[in-house]
Amino acid sequence: MNDEPLSWREFERVLMVAGTVTRVEEFAEARKPAYRIWVDFGPYGERKTSAQVVALYAPEDLLGRQIVGVINFPEKQIGPLKSQFLLTGFPTEDGVVITTVERPVPNGCRLA
């Protein structure tokens, strides 16, 4: 873990925005149990990723939920899927708890 302080300028480069989950599928080709997840990020468009969140969430638990994603990392190849954003969450002993918003905000709204 690197706990060296970041500058405000460095933090501002990380584009963390709210988006609504529009589609969830099992990702059978993944090495560890995972879902393919599509999210509407408003003005940034719909993007997809893979997430190992099956321990705590069924697909129907995720549909329509607003999440927080990092959308300015380079695409990453995960098996046959090109991940277009990082779904944020907190790893726990029981599984990853997805970062969500406390009340609805516009899709694409930036975390400040």
pTM, rounded to two decimals: 0.93
Place of tokens 């607003």: 66
Q: Which residues contact 47 (CB under 8 A, 6 or more apart)?
A: 19, 38, 39, 41, 69, 71, 84, 85
Residue among 101, 105, 108 at smallest CA distance from 44: 108
Question: 3-class SS at 108?
Answer: coil
Over residues 22-78, the pLDDT tens digits come to 999 999 999 899 999 999 999 999 999 999 999 999 999 999 999 999 999 999 999
Q: Residue ranges of the domains in the chain?
A: 14-98
Confidence of residue 2 (pLDDT cuts 50, 70, 90): confident
1 pLDDT higher than 80: no
CATH of domain 14-98: 2.40.50.140
